[in-house]
């Protein structure tokens, strides 16, 4: 694969295969076919050239999932520039750091997010801000390029294409830089696993600044010649279900928080059952057996839990080709070079827990942390990239997550997995969400502390003892919570992943 370009793989390759008149992108007030999308991308790319964008230029994208932002990222690929995604929930301080670290001088945004981005321009961190959802800014850029024929920049498989920033849980956010080869080396295995079809319609309520949705709800569907639906409203079960029905969506992609929310809302369940989904995908954190089993009992629509990291995207997953084992994150995707290892870099036996490692020769692995070589170096153990995620492999080739290595804790001499205990708690019909942490205890080393969000309980004062009694038939005595705290909500990161560290204090 000496030469490749993500925009070519998504646009030209599909058009050459006869998909030009198939819908590529749909939104509430319109749609583009693959032919129309290519015209928009090339016109916008010509305009960006007139603004000084060249190969290796960085373009900051802080935007809702709008038609204009989709065009902008594909135009960046066309030019050999780098699309730099930034989550809409980031503070101005975080965004300023990303603009400075990425060396972006132009930003793409939507009107509701423009104020903060304009502040960066006023501070001298950006030269140009383009608002792509209000006509003028988008059309002005297109007009700059005129009608001249556009020849896209030749890029190699190893040339940088896009960058996402980590949530910054252990210091400043890291710029995770990916190459153009990613669309093939990760996209092909993902499509084999999920079996996307050209007539599939895919929707997510999540932003494309999150790797799981950027892959499975934007890049991979378009690579497959499918149709994506842009959901731009605030995530709420009512509006999501309305969009699923209106656009005849066949594949839905979201985080476990949404599936838990839907199961806790009986009034929405009838509407959801009427949708035309082939299957749903859960990404971002482990779904767990309890939620999966409740989902299948209520809906019957296949729900596939997948595992990935921002440094690759998907590595392990469930999909139509393999039976689901409730609680498992599935099987390794074709071609992924991964292993479960102990601290001596020895592969652990089947059934034993180990830290997931990715070999540095894995073709889907990212290029590095932009302008942070020490963090890249520190994340490696010899020839292996260290994920920090603990899991085990069973005799059938299925992986079972145990949680982050720094979330595991020792109590009474036993290493405990919060994920296992949380999954047991979620089997209780009154529990909507749960998180477990180890809190310091002089006698036990750490005590098991559970935080739960309830669906509605008549007597919360008696619930702690009721839950403990319920868990006795599921968990060993040393795994039982020593304290149960009922809370209104659990702390989450911008993509809905529960933050256990915030509960540890």
CATH topology of domain 186-330: Rossmann fold (3.40.50)
- Gap between the Cα atoms of 417 and 286, Å rounded: 13
Distance CA 40, CA 61 (A): 17
d(CA 364, CA 349): 25
Tokens of 478: 């040393």
Q: Smallest Cα–Cα separation from 294: which of 266, 263, 318?
A: 263
Kindly tell me the sign of the dihedral angle through the C-alpha atoms of 99, 255, 27, 153.
positive
Domains 6-179 and 409-504 share a fold: no
Burial category of 63 from C-beta neighbours within 10 Å (exposed 0-12, middle 13-18, buried 19 and up)? buried
- What does the block give as tokens for 33? 């076919």
Residues 6 or more apart in contact with residue 250 via CB below 8 angstroms: 199, 200, 201, 202, 276, 277, 278
Convert 111-146 into a string of H (helix), E (strand) and C (coil). Answer: HHHHHHHHHHHHCCCCCEEEECCCCHHHHHHHHHCC
Residue 249: per-residue pLDDT: 96
The model's pLDDT over 436-459, given as tens digits with 9 standing for 90+, comes to 999 988 778 889 999 999 987 667
Beta strands 227-230 and 23-27, pairing class? parallel
User: Domain ranges in the chain?
Assistant: 6-179, 186-330, 337-405, 409-504
The model's pLDDT over 356-383, given as tens digits with 9 standing for 90+, comes to: 999 999 999 999 999 999 988 899 999 9
Res 235 pLDDT > 80:
no
User: Residue 27: how many CA atoms within 13 Å on its side-chain side?
Assistant: 15
| Span 6-179 CATH architecture | 3-Layer(aba) Sandwich (3.40)
- Point out the least confidently predicted range of 140-149, 263-272, 360-369: 263-272
Q: Which of 203, 199, 222, 177 is nearest to 83 (CA)?
A: 177
pTM above 0.85, yes or no: yes
Tokens coding 387: 């994920």
Q: Percentage of residues in the chain with pLDDT exceeding 70?
A: 96
The helix (run of H) or strand (run of E) holding residue 393 is: strand 384-393
pLDDT for 505: 75
Residue 316: φ, ψ to 5°: -135, 145
Structure tokens at 153: 């920049």
- pLDDT tens for 316-355 read 999 998 999 999 999 999 999 999 999 999 999 999 999 9
Sequence-distant (6+) residues with CB within 8 A of 60 are: 84, 86, 98, 99, 102, 104, 106, 107, 108, 117, 126
**So what's the pLDDT on residue 1?**
45
Q: What is 409-504's CATH number?
A: 3.30.300.30
Rounded CA separation 187/207 (Å): 19
Terminal CA-CA length for the chain: 49
Q: 284 or 505: whose pLDDT is higher?
A: 284
Q: How confident is the model at residue 206 (pLDDT cuts 50, 70, 90)?
A: very high
Q: Which of 84, 174, 156 is nearest to 368 (CA)?
A: 174
CATH of 337-405, one of 2.60.40.1220, 3.40.50.150, 3.30.450.30, 2.30.38.10: 2.30.38.10
At a CB cut-off of 8 Å and minimum separation 6, what does 482 contact? 441, 444, 447, 448, 449
Q: What's the DSSP call for residue 217? A: I
Token pair recorded at residue 475: 């968990």
pLDDT tens digits for range 85-108: 999 888 899 999 999 999 999 999
Given a contact cutoff of 8 angstroms between Cβ atoms, the answer to whether 225 and 189 are in contact is: no
């Amino acid at each position: 694969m000496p030469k490749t370009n993500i925009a070519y793989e998504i646009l030209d390759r599909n058009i050459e295969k006869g998909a030009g008149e198939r819908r590529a992108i749909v939104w509430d007030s319109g749609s583009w076919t693959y032919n129309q999308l290519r015209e928009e991308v090339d016109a916008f790319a010509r305009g960006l050239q007139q603004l000084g964008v060249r190969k290796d230029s960085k373009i900051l994208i802080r935007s809702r999932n709008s038609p204009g932002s989709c065009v902008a990222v594909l135009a960046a690929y066309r030019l050999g520039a780098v699309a730099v995604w930034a989550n809409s929930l980031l503070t101005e301080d975080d965004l300023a750091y990303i603009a400075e670290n990425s060396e972006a001088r132009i930003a793409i945004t939507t009107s509701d997010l423009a104020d903060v981005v304009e502040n960066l321009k006023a501070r001298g961190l950006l030269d140009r801000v383009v608002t792509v959802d209000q006509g003028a800014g988008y059309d002005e850029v297109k007009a700059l390029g005129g009608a001249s024929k556009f020849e896209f920049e030749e890029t190699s498989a190893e040339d940088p294409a896009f960058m996402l920033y980590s949530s910054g849980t252990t210091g400043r956010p890291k710029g995770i830089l990916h190459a153009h080869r990613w669309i093939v080396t990760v996209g092909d295995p993902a499509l084999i696993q999920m079996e996307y079809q050209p007539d599939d319609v895919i929707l997510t309520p999540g932003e494309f600044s999150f790797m799981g949705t950027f892959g499975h709800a934007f890049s991979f569907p378009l690579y497959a010649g499918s149709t994506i639906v842009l959901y731009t409203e605030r995530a709420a079960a009512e509006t999501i279900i309305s969009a699923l029905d209106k656009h005849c969506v066949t594949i839905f992609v979201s985080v476990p928080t949404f599936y838990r929310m839907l199961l806790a809302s009986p009034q929405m369940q009838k509407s959801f059952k009427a949708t035309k989904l082939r299957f749903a995908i859960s990404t971002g954190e482990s779904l767990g057996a309890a939620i999966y089993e409740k989902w299948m009992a209520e809906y019957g629509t296949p729900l596939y839990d997948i595992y990935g990291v921002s440094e690759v995207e998907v590595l392990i997953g469930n999909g139509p080709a393999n039976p689901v084992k409730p609680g498992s994150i599935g099987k390794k995707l074709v071609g992924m070079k991964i292993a479960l290892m102990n601290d001596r870099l020895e592969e652990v036996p089947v059934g034993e827990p180990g830290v997931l490692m990715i070999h540095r020769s894995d073709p889907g692995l990212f290029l590095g942390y932009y302008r942070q070589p020490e963090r890249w170096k520190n994340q490696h153990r010899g020839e292996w990239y260290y994920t920090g995620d603990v899991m085990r492999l069973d005799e059938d080739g299925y992986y079972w997550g145990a949680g982050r290595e720094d979330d595991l804790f020792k109590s009474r001499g036993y290493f405990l997995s919060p994920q296992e205990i949380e999954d047991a708690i979620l089997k209780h019909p009154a529990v909507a969400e749960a998180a477990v942490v180890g809190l310091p205890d002089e006698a036990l080393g750490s005590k098991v502390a559970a935080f739960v969000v309830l669906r509605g309980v008549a007597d919360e004062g008696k619930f702690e003892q009721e839950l403990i009694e319920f868990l006795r038939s599921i968990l060993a005595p040393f795994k039982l919570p020593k304290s149960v705290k009922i809370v209104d909500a659990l702390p989450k990161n911008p993509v809905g992943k529960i933050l256990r560290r915030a509960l540890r204090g």
